[in-house]
Amino acid sequence: DAILGLENLDKVVNIDQSPIGRTPRSNPATYTGAFTPIRELFANVPEARLRGYAPGRFSFNVKGGRCEACQGDGIVRIEMQFLPDVYVPCEVCKGKRYNRETLEIRYKGKTISEVLEMTVEEATGFFANIPAVKAKLKTLYDVGLGYVRLGQSATTLSGGEAQRVKLSSELSRRATGRTLYILDEPTTGLHFADVERLLQVLNRLVDAGNSVLIIEHHLDVVKCADWVIDLGPEGGDAGGRVVAEGTPEEVARIPTSYTGQFLSWILDRQRQPAFSAQ
């Protein structure tokens, strides 16, 4: 056994479902890098420049602009001894993360705290004329995360959401066209419309010359693959062997493949003409 064609790749990116961070400080805006140009925008507001505020003033990770009562978390942890810890909004900043002076600075009528409360979809429109911000937010939207808030704590994101944040971050990097992306069930928790949007993103990666390897059970994804490898015949200890491989159409013709049986039904339904009432 051997792996052939490695000379065609310059790197392998494994995008798994592990958290993007384990503290309230990590969020989609910080992970994707969108928060840096946003802080720079606030620092360039005339009132901020008059006060001598630098971009760091609008970071909740360092002293200066953050609320020191909660150290920029917006929440305070209460230890419950034998019970799980409880988190409550900070009484000083009311969950806004910043001190009063910092919140006096507004960009297009919004404070930095209000921007972090925006959903990705709302923020994409708000920063439509700022390419450095819009480009990163657009990739978050494209992978089906338009509903997620920019400042949403990483600890509240599901595994599938965390994975798509990572995918978004990779999409915003400069592409080499020689990357192998590995994703484990990226459609977890997605609506059908979002699955379609995710497929468009993955196809963009392939069209740019990259390769995408997906571990997936969602048949709407499987049917779009260039090559399918079906492992089985059962799960766990009763599986792990290659039952079938080939194009989706070829796998659908193999009767011993459970995936092929369902894939056959999906492909047949796809070929049927849509009903139209006369």
Strands 241-246 and 83-89: unpaired
pLDDT digits (tens, 9 = 90+) for 92-106: 999 999 999 999 999
Q: Hey, how many other C-beta atoms are within 10 angstroms of the C-beta on 88?
A: 11
Phi/psi at 239 (5° precision): -130, -155
Q: What is the percent of the chain with per-residue pLDDT over 90, rounded to a whole number?
A: 72
Q: Which of 36-40, 72-76, 172-176 has the lowest mean pLDDT?
A: 172-176
Predicted confidence at residue 180, as pLDDT, reads 94
Predicted confidence at residue 272, as pLDDT, reads 67
Q: Bigger pLDDT: 3 or 72?
A: 72
Cα 267 to Cα 59, 126, 270, distances in angstroms: 51, 41, 5
Predicted confidence at residue 278, as pLDDT, reads 47
Predicted confidence at residue 83, as pLDDT, reads 87
pLDDT band of 243, cuts 50, 70, 90: very high
Cα 255 to Cα 9, 108, 260, distances in angstroms: 35, 61, 7
Say how far apart CA 1 and CA 158 lie, in whole Å. Answer: 37
Secondary structure (3-state) at 83: strand
pLDDT band of 2, cuts 50, 70, 90: confident
Contacts 24+ apart (CB under 8 A), 92-101: 92/67, 93/67, 93/69, 96/67, 97/60, 97/66, 97/67, 97/70, 97/72, 97/73, 97/151, 98/58, 98/60, 98/65, 98/66, 98/67, 98/72, 99/65, 99/66, 99/67, 99/68, 101/51, 101/65
* Averaged pLDDT, 225-234: 94
Predicted confidence at residue 188, as pLDDT, reads 84
Tokens 């900070």 sit on residue: 90
Upper half-sphere CA count for residue 36 (Cβ side, 13 Å): 6
pLDDT digits (tens, 9 = 90+) for 146-166: 999 999 999 899 998 999 999
pTM of the entire predicted model:
0.83
| Burial of residue 113, with CB atoms counted within 10 A of its CB: 0-12 exposed, 13-18 middle, 19 or more buried | buried
DSSP code, position 53: -
Token pair in block for residue 21 = 């961070």
pLDDT for residue 274 is more than 60: no
Residue 24: asked if its preceding bond is cis (omega within 30°), the reply is no
pLDDT band of 273, cuts 50, 70, 90: low
Sorted by where each starts, the structural domains of the chain and their CATH numbers stand as 22-156 (1.20.1580.10)
